[in-house]
Amino acid sequence: MPSLPTATHIVTARPIRWLIFLIWLGIALFLASRHVVWRDEVRALSFALSGDSTVAMLHNVHGEGHPAIWYLMLRWAHMLWPHPQVLVVVGFVVGAAAALLFAMRAPFAWPWLALALTSRVLLYEYPIVARNYGIAVLALFGLAALYRRYRDTGWVLGLLLLLLCNTNVPAVMLAGAFLLYWGLDLLEDGPPRWDARWRAWLIGAAFSLAGVVLCFVTVYPTFNDAAPAHYWHNSLGLMLLRLLPAMGKYYVSLVPREAEKAAVVILPLLIYGSLLAYWRRRPALIAAAAGLIGLLLVLALVYKGYYRHQAMIMPFLLTIAWVDRERQLESPERLDTWTHRLRIVGRICFALLFLLQLVQTIPFVTRAIRGMPESRSYELAQLLKRPDLRDAIVIGDPDFKVEVVPYYSANQICFIRERRCGPWSIFSKSSMHLMTVDEIANFARTLHDRTGKPVVILISEEPMREEQIGIADRGDYNPLLITADALRRFYAATHLLVRYPHITAGDESYDVYLYDGKPGGGPRPADVP
């Protein structure tokens, strides 16, 4: 009958851990040096620096859709070092701290450490792309590292759970699942009674509840009412019966794009199969399943998730495996044959799930080596440094394209659908209508007539071309209507400055036009049929 491996088979030697982390750090620094920020990153910085005080900034953030921790970190860091680059520095430091904590403290064999740290989620998505999700990973790994030491006191774990709840909305579900593990772990020691252990759990629960309330009052009601997608139709039980078999649809970003069609079949097998790795202990199995279902409910019923949202399940599964492994090391026991076999199947599925994340890391590394940016925002900033464009107003379609400009340039930005200027756009239903090419030109003309400044127009590169006559999708906004006649009028009033090559890895490339009140180049036979 197989027995649990001993600690010497599980715990990696410290020199190997340092080597793994230093390799991670070298690759991450290289990727960070080649990373060009894009609008989602800059939007957070714009909010963080808004207002005359922290209180005023928090008022602006209310309803944006994210808790306040990330904005506070950026604002306070900017007070110490008043440069826009504080955005990427803070994001990288948080990601590196999470990676270091995992490399040094996680009780796994070195192949598992290396596999996790080279995954897209821990090597690129959270430490390189400056957003709030890396803070959640650091909080999760902090919970895992401190759990055995502070389980029976409550305050430390409670504060970390409060922090976790206020990193992003999906993390609220993961905090609840970790609290569930904590309670079930205590139940394994005996029935609940009023002692220090359960008082500590209640303290943790109180902090978690405070974190949920604080997150809720910061996020809701959201002014970005065009972004969320609410699908509450039936009872929770009926919804789960519908959602659980289709889990692959909601975690589709966890597989490479080439395998997205097979994700509906592959992902449920791998994700549900990974739960078997926790088969030995009921608290770990239930908590992992609860986190998985909780995140699924957010993705399916609150708003559509991208990789950054869907990948939150990966560090959470590592966190539960971490605390459960430490429990096993404290109380090793022999396993029956079936438990041993099921755990092997679970570990294989778990490894394959992380291998898929490693596969997704490779394109980011190769593109960085080849110097292929994921955004044309830096190149746009260099264009705006031209003497005749330094005072230009920048507009674009879709409107959120221009939100990246303040990071690299001091040019004013304005939003066509909202008919206003400011540092960020609002995804509001009130500004959703069928946009036309004529409206873009008319708004540029209005701004030029009012200010006397030239107007730079950013247009997503696909629609303003011959083969794209018709309706162009604009995501959270209503689409853009493109006709040949409207294009001819647009070209007659504007000058094409540059047409940046298409970016396969991102969507932030543009055709850049100038409106300066002078006649344009006229219809272009190569562009307009």
Distance of CA 425 to the CA centre of its chain: 19
DSSP state of 118: T
- C-alpha neighbours within 13 Å on the C-beta side of residue 390: 4
- Cα angle for residues 288, 292, 293 (degrees, 5° grid): 120
Within 8 A by CB and 6+ apart from 362, the residues are none
| DSSP per residue, 210-224 | HHHHHHHHHH-S-S-
DSSP state of 413: B
| The three-state (H, E, C) secondary structure of 412-424, written as one string | CEEECCCCEECCC
DSSP state of 296: H
- One-letter amino acid for residue 309 of the chain: H
**How far is the C-alpha of 175 from the C-alpha of 181, rounded, in Å?**
10
CA torsion sign, 330 to 334 to 339 to 343?
positive
pTM above 0.75, yes or no: yes
Taking residue 448's Cβ as centre, other Cβ atoms within 10 Å add up to 17
pLDDT at 134: 96
CA torsion sign, 154 to 159 to 160 to 164?
positive
Within 8 A by CB and 6+ apart from 191, the residues are none
- C-alpha neighbours within 13 Å on the C-beta side of residue 74: 29
Within 8 A by CB and 6+ apart from 524, the residues are 491, 496
Within 8 A by CB and 6+ apart from 354, the residues are 115, 116, 119, 314
CA torsion sign, 374 to 224 to 253 to 118?
positive
For residue 137, what are its two tokens? 């990973």
**How far is the C-alpha of 509 from the C-alpha of 82, rounded, in Å?**
28
Q: Is 329 exposed, middle or buried (0-12, 13-18, 19+ CB in 10 A)?
A: middle
pLDDT at 469: 75
Helix axes 133-150, 155-165, angle to 10 degrees: 160
Taking residue 253's Cβ as centre, other Cβ atoms within 10 Å add up to 21
pLDDT tens for the chain, residues 1 to 529: 233 333 334 568 999 999 999 999 999 999 999 999 988 899 999 999 999 999 999 999 998 889 999 999 999 999 999 999 999 999 999 999 999 999 999 999 999 999 999 999 999 999 999 999 999 999 999 999 999 999 998 899 999 999 999 999 999 999 999 999 999 999 988 777 778 899 999 999 999 999 999 999 999 877 665 555 544 445 566 666 677 777 888 888 999 888 878 888 888 899 999 999 998 889 999 999 999 999 998 888 887 788 999 999 999 999 999 999 988 877 766 777 888 889 899 999 999 999 999 999 999 999 999 888 888 999 999 999 999 999 999 999 888 889 999 999 999 999 998 889 988 888 766 656 678 889 999 999 999 999 999 999 998 866 565 556 777 777 666 778 888 888 888 989 999 999 888 775 667 888 899 999 888 764 443 343 3
Distances in Å between the Cα of 297 and the Cα atoms of 1, 2, 170, 294, 300 are 40, 38, 9, 5, 5
The secondary structure element, H or E, covering residue 436 is: strand 435-436
Q: Give the residue carrying structure tokens 């080649």.
A: 34
Nearest to 76 by CA among 65, 95, 66, 89: 89
